Amino acid sequence: MFADPRLTNLIANMLALLAVMAMIAGALAWVIGRPYFAVERIEIASMVAPSLQYVTPANLSTALAGQVSGNFFAIDLDQVREQIEATPWVRHASVQRVWPDTLRVQIEEQQPLALWNENQMINTWGEAFNANQGELSDDSQLPQLNGPPNSERLVVQRYAEIARWFAPLQLRVREATLSPRYAWEVQLSDGVRLHLGRDQAADTTDPHGRSGALPFAARIERFVQAWPKLSKRLGTRMIASADLRYPNGFAISLVPDNPLTTSKQ
C-alpha cells in the first residue's frame, strides 16, 4: 500500500509553514520584549474641562509605580486605566498607545459639589468619593451634606431644590442633613437652622406620610413666602431656628439675649 504523494507533499508543506510561523512569532515576541519598546512618557489631558485642576503627572506616576508591567506592546491598558481611576480626583479615564513610547491618558476629574459626611466629598453626579480636601482652592465654599449610606443622590437632589427656594432671598444652604428616619435639617448661610421634618416622597418606611402633614416643598414654600414680612417684623432681632413641621404654620426661636425668645407664625 503506497501513500498518495500529493497528500504527503501537502502535509510536509503545512508542517513547514507552521514551523516558519512559529519562528516568526518567536522572533516577534523577542523583538517586542526588547527594552527599546519601553513606555517612556505618559501624556495626560482633560476629557471634558479645558484643563485639569487636581490631577498631575506626579499623581499618576505615583499611582502606577510598581502596579503595571509590560512594554509598549505588552502593557495591559485596562489594568492601567483601573489603576488611574483608583487615583484621588479621577472619576473616569481612557488610555491609548501613541507610537513609539507614549501612553496618552484622558481624565475626567471629580467635580466637588459638597463635603459628604465625615471625610468624603460628593460630586455633581451625586457620587461620593475620597480625596484630599486640603487641595480645594482657598475660596471654595462647599456646603456640608450628610445622610445615611446610599442616600447621596437623594440628598443632592433635595439640596438643589432647597437652594433654589432660598436663592431669591440671597441665602445659601450651608448644611443639609438627612437622618436615618428621613427627617431633614438645614442650616442657611445666615446661621438659621430649619427643621423640615420627614420627606414623605422619599421616605420608603412611611410611604403614605403622616395625616395632615404638608408635602416637603410646600413647607419650604410657606416659610419662604413669609420671610420678607417676618424679617421686617423682627427688625434687628435674629432667628436662631425655625420648625416647619406644623400643619398650619411654623415656629421660630430667636438667638439669646433678645427680648422675644419664641414666636409662632
224-234 residue pLDDT tens: 999 999 999 99
Cα distance between residue 90 and residue 105, in whole Å: 11
Distance CA 249, CA 212 (A): 12
258 vs 23: which has the higher pLDDT: 23
What band does 187 get if pLDDT is binned at 50, 70 and 90? very high
Quick one: which of 210, 212, 151, 213 has its CA closest to 182? 151
Spacing of C-alpha 240 from chain mean position = 33
Lowest mean pLDDT segment, chosen from 1-5, 44-48, 89-93, 218-222: 1-5
Q: Which fold has domain 36-109?
A: Ubiquitin-like (UB roll) (3.10.20)
d(CA 256, CA 260): 9
pLDDT above 80 for 63:
yes
Instruction: Report pLDDT for 260.
Output: 47
Q: How confident is the model at residue 247 (pLDDT cuts 50, 70, 90)?
A: confident
Q: In this structure, are residues 60 and 15 in contact, taking their beta carbons and an 8 Å threshold?
A: no
pTM of the model: 0.79
d(CA 27, CA 21): 10
Q: Is there a contact between 115 and 143 (Cβ–Cβ < 8 Å)?
A: yes
Q: Where are the domains of the chain?
A: 36-109, 112-264
Q: Average the pLDDT over 128-143 and give the result.
A: 93
* Residue 111: predicted pLDDT: 95
What pLDDT is attached to residue 211? 41
pLDDT at 116: 98
Q: Which CATH class is domain 112-264?
A: alpha beta
Residue 48: which pLDDT band, with cuts at 50, 70 and 90? confident
